[in-house]
C-alpha cells in the first residue's frame, strides 16, 4: 500500500512515522516545516494557560518524540520564558532548562550580556517573583560572564547565535567561560543559543558538568531548527516540493510536475499561520470594483475534495458581495474566533487531514502530533481495506 503524506511539520512527521511503522510505502512530500518551526520548545496538548491537559501521551507518541530528541517526563516540566514567566509543559526540547528537576532553593545563574532580547538582571528579578519560583525557593541571579566572543554579536538574532555554537570550538569556548565562574551555581539559564543541532547542547552540558539550558523565546527559535535536523535524520528519504492538487482518484500533483498515485493521502499542510488555509474574501478578487462572485472567505491552499468549516459547521456564503467584516473573524469580537478554528471539516474517502489544517482542533504542537499519528494509521487502514476489496 502506498501512502502519500503532504506537509513537513510535526503532523506530517507523525503521519509518515505511523504509516512507515505500519509497513506502508510512504511518499513524504515536504515543502517547509510550517508552524512547527515557530514552536519555542515547550509543547502541550491543549493551551497551557487555559486548561493544561492531564492526559498521558500514547506509547507511539512517546516513541516518536524520543526519536526526535525531545524529553517526555512522567510529570510536567517547568520552563523559564524570556519574558519572566515560569510555565509548565508536557514535553520539552532537550535544550531547555527544566526547573522542576532542580533541588529546592537552587541558585540559577543568568549571564549578563548586551543583547536586545536578553536582560539578565530584569529577567532574574521577574523569574524570582514567579509563584512557582517562590513556592520552591528558586533563586535567580545575574552574573558577570560575558558570552559574546566577537564584535557585532549583540545585534544578531538568537537563531544566528545558536548556529555559531554548533561549531565545536565555539561551544567549547562557551563551556569554558561558564565552568570557570566562581562560585559555581546549581544551574545555568542561558539565552536560546545552544545550537541548531540536537547534539550541540549535550556537548556543552558535558563540558560544563552542571545543569544548564535555554529559556524559551519568541520565534524564529533554535528549537524549530533543531526539529528540522532531527526530522531529516529520522526520515532521510523525502520529496522536496509543494503539492498543487489531490485529484478524486488520489493522484497527487506537485508544482514541479511530479505525480504520485496513492492508496490514501494525509494532508498535513498547516492552517492559517502558514497558508495551508488562507483568507480569500470575494472582494480580494478585484480592485476598485464590486466582485462578480460571492464565495466563502477561506480556502484550502491546494486543490482537493474537502469541505472547510469551523465550530462543526461548513463555511457559509457571505450575505454580502463584500464578504464578512474581518474584525468579526477574530477575538474579542467572537468567543470562538474563526481564524483559530477554520480548517478541513470533512474530506473525500481516502484523504485524511492532520494537524492545524483540521477544523476545530487545538492549535498546539502535541495536538498536531497526535492528529498526525491518527491520520497516518487511518490512511493505512483505508488502504488495507481498499486492497482487500480489489
Question: DSSP characters for 22-91?
Answer: TT-EEEEEES--GGGGG--SEE-SS-TTT----PPPPHHHHHHHHHTTEE--SS-EEEEBTTS-EEEESE
Q: What is the pLDDT of residue 285?
A: 53
Domains defined along the chain, listed by start: 2-31+241-389 (3.50.50.60), 52-222 (no CATH)
Average pLDDT over the chain, rounded to an integer: 89
Q: What is the pLDDT of residue 38?
A: 82
CA-to-CA separations, 135 to 11, 76, 128, 129, in angstroms, rounded: 37, 16, 10, 10
- pLDDT reading at 25 higher than 80: yes
Grid-cell match 510529570, residue found? 75
Q: What is the pLDDT of residue 13?
A: 96
For the chain, give the percent of residues with pLDDT over 90. Answer: 68
Q: Under a CB-based contact definition with an 8 Å cutoff, are residues 73 and 96 in contact?
A: no
Of 275, 269, 347, 357, nearest to 307 by C-alpha is 347
For the stretch 70-85, pLDDT in tens is 998 778 899 999 999 9
- pLDDT reading at 334 higher than 60: yes
- Which cell numbers hold the place of 165? 555554537
For the stretch 257-299, pLDDT in tens is 999 999 999 999 999 888 899 887 765 555 555 556 667 788 9
Distance CA 69, CA 43 (A): 13
What are residue 224's phi and psi, to 5 degrees?
-65, -40
Burial of 221 (0-12, 13-18, 19+ CB in 10 A): buried
| CA trace torsion 116, 120, 121, 124 (10° rounding) | 130
Distance CA 357, CA 301 (A): 10
The answer to which of 32-36, 107-111, 139-143, 232-236 has the lowest mean pLDDT is 32-36
Nearby residues of 118 by Cβ (< 8 Å), 6 or more positions away: 82, 191
Amino acid at each position: 500500500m502506498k501512502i502519500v503524506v503532504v506537509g513537513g511539520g510535526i503532523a506530517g512527521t507523525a503521519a509518515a512515522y505511523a504509516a512507515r511503522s505500519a509497513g506502508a510505502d510512504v511518499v513524504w512530500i515536504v515543502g517547509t516545516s510550517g508552524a512547527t518551526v515557530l514552536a519555542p520548545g515547550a509543547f502541550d496538548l491543549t493551551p497551557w494557560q487555559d486548561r493544561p491537559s492531564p492526559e498521558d501521551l500514547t506509547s507511539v507518541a512517546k516513541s516518536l518524540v524520543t526519536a526526535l530528541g525531545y524529553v517526555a517526563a512522567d510529570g510536567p516540566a517547568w520552563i523559564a520564558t524570556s519574558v519572566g514567566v515560569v510555565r509548565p509543559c508536557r514535553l520539552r526540547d532537550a535544550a531547555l532548562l527544566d526547573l522542576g528537576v532542580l533541588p529546592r532553593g537552587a541558585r540559577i545563574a543568568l549571564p549578563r550580556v548586551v543583547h536586545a532580547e536578553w536582560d539578565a538582571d530584569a529577567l532574574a528579578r521577574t523569574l524570582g517573583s514567579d509563584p512557582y519560583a517562590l513556592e520552591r525557593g528558586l533563586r535567580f541571579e545575574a552574573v558577570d560572564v560575558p558570552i559574546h566572543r566577537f564584535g557585532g554579536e549583540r545585534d544578531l538574532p538568537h537563531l544566528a547565535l545558536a548556529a555559531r555554537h554548533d561549531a565545536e570550538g565555539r561551544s567549547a569556548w562557551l563551556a569554558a567561560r561558564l565552568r570557570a565562574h566562581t562560585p559555581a551555581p546549581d544551574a545555568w539559564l542561558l539565552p536560546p543559543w545552544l545550537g541548531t543541532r540536537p547534539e550541540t547542547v549535550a556537548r556543552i552540558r558535558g563540558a560544563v558538568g552542571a545543569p544548564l539550558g535555554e529559556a524559551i523565546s519568541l520565534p524564529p527559535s533554535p528549537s524549530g531548527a533543531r526539529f528540522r535536523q532531527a526530522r531529516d535524520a529520522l526520515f532521510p528519504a523525502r520529496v522536496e516540493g509543494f503539492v498543487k492538487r489531490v485529484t478524486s482518484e488520489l493522484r497527487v500533483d506537485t508544482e514541479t510536475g511530479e505525480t504520485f498515485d496513492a492508496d490514501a493521502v494525509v494532508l498535513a499542510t498547516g492552517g492559517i499561520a502558514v497558508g495551508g488555509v488562507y483568507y480569500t474574501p470575494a472582494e480580494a478578487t478585484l480592485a476598485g470594483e464590486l466582485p462578480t462572485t460571492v464565495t466563502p472567505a477561506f480556502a484550502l491552499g491546494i486543490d482537493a475534495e474537502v469541505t472547510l468549516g469551523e465550530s462543526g459547521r461548513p463555511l457559509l456564503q457571505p450575505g454580502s458581495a463584500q464578504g464578512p467584516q474581518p474584525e468579526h473573524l477574530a477575538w474579542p469580537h467572537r468567543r470562538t474566533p474563526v481564524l483559530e478554528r477554520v480548517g478541513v471539516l470533512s474530506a473525500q474517502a481516502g484523504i485524511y487531514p492532520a494537524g492545524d489544517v483540521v477544523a476545530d482542533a487545538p492549535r498546539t504542537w502535541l495536538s498536531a502530533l497526535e492528529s498526525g499519528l491518527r491520520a497516518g494509521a487511518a490512511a493505512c487502514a483505508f488502504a488495507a481495506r481498499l486492497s482487500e476489496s480489489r
